[in-house]
Structure 1
């Protein structure tokens, strides 16, 4: 599999839509990120993760997840490196890096994300991550 391009893809192919979401997130461009999400998106952060739960609507995802990550962490980034695509399903192997603002502790943790893309928009997201590593960075 090839490395993802740093150029912003414009197609509605599922992997390209997901890649646009990662680029927008890394750039802090919440408007562009919302543009990748379906109006009825279901975005699930894993049980045990600090933001655990399911968020709905593009605004709900950005305010409930991205803005909160930005408040609690410096330089929160999801580094996407491997894409596995099967029709509308896109699984991305990635890693999170960030520094917790309260403790100054860093994370560098592997994650897997499962996206479902229909009609050029992300309709479902599910996160898989070692929540213990994230929580350890938050502990004093």
Structure 2
């Protein structure tokens, strides 16, 4: 899988804002489209833009919304083996989609996710981590970019592969989760 970020003429447009003031230019994201390319198919998963008029000279602050905090907490809990905490962040009718890989399928409800995704992980992997790099938020949709890494229990083969997760929130809980990742690396490590 190849993940690319396609951008418009950010530098040129940003420099035209506020006479090219460097503090203001850093705050502008124009025409950024996150496109996930899987084989011959492309998925647009986020579009972000702002105009020069939307920017002021106030200091830049980074904040996390409650939704991002919830999702980030789920990744932390998973990596610490705290599966009940992961499940607590899900709606009872959560839909989980693994597009490819050893856990491929569509699962509805926390128990189906445990049975078909979470429970097989320690059987297949002696080590397995999910490391998010970025959380991109657009309303109730959060796109998480990061890395899977692990070592297959039987073969001892290690892998590292990129992922994009699309999470839709409802009432502060995860309503759907879609994994878009390079399943080939997992299959190779597992000897499939």
Q: State whether TM-score is above 0.5.
A: yes
TM-score when normalising by structure 1: 0.87
Structure 1 residue 105 and structure 2 residue 157: aligned? Answer: yes
Name the residue aligned to 1:43: 96
Q: Is the 8 A contact 2:97 2:106 kept in 1?
A: yes
- Per the alignment, residue 3 of structure 1 pairs with none
Pairing 1:23–2:76 present: yes
CA distance in 1, matches of 2:128, 2:106: 20
- How many residues are matched? 129
2:171 paired with 1:138: no
- Kindly state the Cα deviation for residue 63 of structure 1 after the two structures are TM-superposed: 2.4
Matches within 5 A, 1:82-93: 82-93=134-145
Of 108, 113, 118 in structure 2, the residue corresponding to residue 66 of structure 1 is 118
Instruction: State whether residues 26 and 78 of structure 1, in contact with CA within 8 Å, keep that contact through their aligned partners in structure 2.
Output: yes
**Which residue in 1 is equivalent to 2:10?**
none
Larger Rg: 2
In structure 2, the partner of 1:121 is: 173
Displacement over 3 Å in runs of 4+? none
- Note the residue ranges of structure 2 that are not aligned, 5 or more in a row: 1-63
Give the Cα separation in 2 of the matches to 1:30 and 1:131: 23
CA–CA separation in structure 2 for the residues paired with 1:33 and 1:59: 12
- Residue matched to 2:13: none
Q: Which has the higher contact order (CA 8 A, sep 6+)?
A: 1
Runs (5+) with no aligned partner, structure 1: 1-8
Compute the RMSD of aligned alpha carbons. 1.5
Q: Provide the TM-score with structure 2 as the length reference.
A: 0.64
